[in-house]
């Protein structure tokens, strides 16, 4: 299995996302076209764009540790989730954030559970995208054309991924959930519609590469066949169809995203802002 370092690509993904403060729930965000969700840094029921930028800054610091010299020796330093969480709590306190009767719950923006979720999800999403890009390189894709969904971390109440996998049309081989990297199942089983991990919030599931020989043995690939690359440049997907969206949602998107989007003629076009 190749060793990937998605450092540069992870930072590029994060840099291409603009903080968007909007009073959408998680389910309402799920109705926003993928092309816009992938271009926005958001959190459910979070309307303060400046605070979202504070989150983005700390996610970048976690992803991008720096090397300094100490006693004549290079030392790598980086922000960890616990420190970032403390700093964000202080920011929320400084802007007089009041969770009201939601204090201590996942809906409380200042709770440990919520901050851990937001920080870890954005870090993992950036890293997952970086891994996805690198795994689509021609040499890697030729030698490792498939991948496996497996449980990397236990959960008290694990989701039923095998059923989710089979309902999306996946095959299970001796208990292993494996498919070609070009298979649309990866986006179909993802809560976010993206073909890379994480595939759901707080998921303990990860992806790992499967070599050509195994893919052939399982009947997923014919000898000598190639696997089509599915990756597109992140900045290439800037438009989405508005045909299936309600007028109410389109109005909310226009008001929320402001001049970052252009809606008309049945199409939503991302115009973006700084960093695009």
**pLDDT score of 146:** 98
Of 112-116, 152-156, 244-248, the poorest mean pLDDT is in: 244-248
* pLDDT at residue 82 greater than cutoff 80: yes
Query: What confidence tens digit (pLDDT) does each residue in 162-174 have?
Result: 999 999 999 999 9
Give 131's Cβ-side CA count (13 Å radius): 21
Tokens representing 25? 């729930």
**pLDDT score of 274:** 45
Query: What confidence tens digit (pLDDT) does each residue in 2-19 have?
Result: 655 667 889 988 988 888
Nearest to 223 by CA among 231, 208, 212: 212
Give the number of other CB atoms < 10 A from CB of residue 251.
Answer: 11
Find tokens 């890697």 and name the residue.
140
In 158-256, which ranges are E strands? 172-173, 176-180, 205-210, 239-241
Mean pLDDT (whole number) for 179-190: 96
**pLDDT score of 128:** 94
């Amino acid at each position: 299995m190749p060793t990937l370092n998605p450092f540069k690509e992870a930072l590029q993904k994060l840099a291409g996302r603009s903080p968007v403060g909007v009073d959408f729930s998680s389910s309402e965000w799920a109705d926003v076209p993928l092309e816009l969700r992938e271009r926005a840094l958001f959190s459910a029921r979070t309307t303060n764009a400046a605070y979202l930028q504070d989150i983005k800054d700390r996610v970048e610091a976690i992803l991008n540790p720096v090397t300094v010299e100490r006693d004549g020796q290079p030392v790598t330093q980086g922000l960890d989730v616990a420190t970032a969480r403390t700093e964000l709590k202080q920011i929320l306190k400084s802007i007089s954030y009041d969770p009201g009767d939601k204090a201590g719950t996942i809906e409380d923006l200042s709770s440990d559970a919520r901050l851990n979720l937001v920080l870890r999800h954005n870090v993992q999403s950036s890293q997952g995208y970086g891994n996805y890009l690198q795994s689509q390189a021609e040499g890697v894709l030729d030698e490792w054309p498939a991948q496996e969904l497996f449980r990397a971390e236990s959960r008290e109440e694990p989701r039923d991924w095998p059923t989710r996998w089979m309902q999306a049309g996946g095959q299970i081989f001796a208990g292993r959930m494996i498919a070609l990297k070009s298979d649309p199942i990866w986006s179909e089983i993802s809560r976010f519609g993206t073909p890379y991990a994480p595939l759901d919030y707080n998921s303990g599931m990860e992806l790992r590469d499967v070599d050509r020989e195994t893919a052939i043995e399982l009947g997923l690939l014919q000898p000598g066949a190639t696997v089509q690359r599915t990756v597109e440049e992140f900045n290439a997907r800037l438009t989405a169809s508005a045909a299936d969206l309600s007028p109410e949602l389109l109005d909310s998107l226009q008001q929320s995203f402001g001049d970052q989007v252009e809606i008309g003629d049945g199409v939503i076009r991302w115009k973006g802002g700084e960093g695009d």
